[in-house]
């Protein structure tokens, strides 16, 4: 059984954006209860936590922005954008979220853990350098990637983002760099409006952003086909030294904010594809970070399946799931992405 780490802390559940906000503490309450159930308890190593340093945060965010978020500490309610607010505990939770991701990366890199899942709030991939957006305060996965690059000396990092919404903040952080390859599948056109096919990066980073914008209705077979036929060949050519996953569970069938049809078994399959890539390229080194997901029970069950794959408690067959794909949904999509990306990736 693989030694799989988890990041969890009660402080993450103290971040609260209002009675009816979909990004609620109930998301983690359900996941943490699942982890304590008899069939899961004791199977994972808990990562010892501390907050990120301001230096870690400011590798991605401006000093002025970090000060702005810090100023919300202890304040009952602060409005940051139409979707994003803070409470008195939000700053501490956000610092612990980024810290948990960085600590997980360090432990996987050193071999203390085989892989890890940072089950944190608030999420991060929409947060820009100087702006909170889309329920996100600090961009956890981007902070983690910069930490891996600048403190641990990791030169090629793959970020895979399967959240329903495009990770605008993550893309913008790295779009001029070749040391981070960003691959995103997302519902389009939809919030935040970025992530078109032809957004491929800029300057030295051209070709190191791969966007796969999707219409509604894609399920297990279609996602598995995309990841096997697009992500895998690109990743095998790139040869990442570490993989980070922005794991959003709002592509789950029945998510109130989404239009996709992925089941908990589909998430297990996506995890297995990424694990196979990691095994081939970087000794299995992966850290997952929780992003969105607003069907609380669906997210709980899907996170469970991801964790079972990571820990070697289950082995899902990608070909079995690929057989479920509707070719009418995937053929045009694959051809369109390849027509743009084959200028940068000969494996396509």
pLDDT of 209 reads 98
Asked if residue 347 belongs to a domain, the reply is no
Question: Is the confidence at residue 348, as pLDDT, over 90?
Answer: yes
Asked if residue 304 belongs to a domain, the reply is yes
Asked if residue 212 belongs to a domain, the reply is yes
* Cβ pair 99, 138 in contact under 8 A: no
- Average pLDDT over the chain reads 98
281-331: pLDDT as tens digits: 999 999 999 999 999 999 999 999 999 999 999 999 999 999 999 999 999
Which residue range is the domain that position 64 belongs to? 4-341
As a whole number of angstroms, the distance between CA 293 and CA 295 comes to: 6
Asked if residue 348 belongs to a domain, the reply is no
Asked if residue 169 belongs to a domain, the reply is yes
Q: What percent of the chain has pLDDT over 90?
A: 99
* Cβ pair 21, 292 in contact under 8 A: no
- Comparing CA positions, the residue from 203, 156, 153, 208 lying closest to residue 184 is 208
Out of 61, 126, 165, 186, pick the active-site residue.
126
199-221: pLDDT as tens digits: 999 999 999 999 999 999 999 99
pLDDT of 96 reads 98
As a whole number of angstroms, the distance between CA 267 and CA 249 comes to: 8
Residue 21: active-site member: no
Confidence of residue 4 (pLDDT cuts 50, 70, 90): very high
- Count the domains in the chain: 1
The burial class, CB within 10 Å (0-12 / 13-18 / 19+), for 9 is buried
Which three-class secondary structure string do you get for the chain?
Answer: CCCEEEECCHHHHHCCCCCCCCCCCHHHHHHHHHHHCCCCCCCCEECCCCCCCHHHHCCCCCHHHHHHHHCCCCCCCEEEECCEEECCCHHHHHHHHHHHHHHHHHHHHHCCCCEEEECCCCCCCCCECCECECCECCCHHHHHHHHHHHCCCCCCEEEEECCCCCCHHHHHHHCCCCCEEEEEEEECCCCCCCCCCCCCCCHHHCCCEEEEEECCCCEHHHHHHHHHHHHHHHHHHHCCCEEEEEECCCCECCCCCCCCEECHHHHHHHHHHHHHHHHHHCCCCEEEEECCCCCHHHHHHHHHHHHHHHCCCCCCCHHHHHCCCCHHHHHHHHHHHHHHHCCCCCCC
Confidence of residue 2 (pLDDT cuts 50, 70, 90): confident
Taking the model in full, what pTM does it have? 0.98
Asked if residue 346 belongs to a domain, the reply is no
Asked if residue 17 belongs to a domain, the reply is yes
CATH of the domain at 178: 3.40.800.20
Question: Is the confidence at residue 1, as pLDDT, over 70?
Answer: no
Residue range 16-44: mean pLDDT, rounded = 97
The C-alpha torsion from 137 through 72 and 61 to 105, rounded to 10°, is: -60
Asked if residue 141 belongs to a domain, the reply is yes
Q: How many CB atoms lie within 10 A of CB 318?
A: 18
């Amino acid at each position: 059984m693989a030694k799989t780490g988890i990041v969890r802390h009660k402080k993450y559940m103290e971040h609260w954006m209002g009675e009816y906000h979909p990004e609620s503490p109930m998301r983690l309450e359900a996941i943490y209860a699942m982890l304590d159930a008899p069939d899961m308890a004791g199977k994972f190593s808990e990562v010892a936590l501390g907050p990120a340093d301001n230096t870690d945060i400011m590798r991605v965010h401006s000093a002025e922005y970090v000060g702005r978020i810090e100023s919300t500490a202890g304040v009952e309610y602060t409005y940051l954008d139409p979707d994003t607010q803070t409470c008195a505990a939000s700053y501490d939770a956000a610092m612990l979220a980024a810290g948990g991701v960085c600590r997980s990366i360090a432990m996987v890199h050193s071999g203390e853990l085989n892989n890890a899942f940072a089950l944190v709030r608030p999420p991060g991939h929409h947060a820009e350098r100087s702006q909170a957006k889309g329920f996100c305060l600090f961009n956890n996965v981007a902070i983690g990637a910069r930490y891996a690059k600048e403190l641990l000396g990791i030169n090629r990092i793959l970020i895979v983002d399967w959240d329903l919404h495009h990770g605008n903040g993550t893309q913008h952080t790295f779009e001029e760099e070749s040391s981070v390859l960003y691959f995103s599948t997302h519902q389009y056109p939809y919030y935040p409006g970025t992530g078109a096919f032809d957004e491929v990066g800029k300057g030295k980073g051209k070709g190191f952003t791969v966007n796969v914008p999707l219409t509604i209705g894609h399920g297990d077979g279609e996602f598995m086909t995309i990841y096997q036929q697009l992500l895998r060949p690109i990743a095998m050519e790139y040869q990442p030294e570490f993989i980070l996953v922005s794991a959003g569970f709002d592509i789950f069938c029945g998510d109130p904010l989404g239009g996709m049809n992925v089941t908990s078994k589909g998430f297990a399959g996506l995890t297995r594809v990424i694990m196979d890539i990691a095994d081939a390229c970087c000794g299995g080194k992966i850290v997952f970070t929780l992003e969105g997901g607003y069907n609380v029970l669906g997210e709980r069950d899907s996170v469970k399946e991801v964790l079972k794959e990571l820990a070697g408690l289950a082995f899902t067959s990608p070909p079995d799931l690929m057989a479920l794909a509707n070719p009418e949904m995937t053929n045009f999509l694959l051809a369109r992405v390849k027509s743009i990306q084959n200028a940068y990736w000969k494996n396509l």
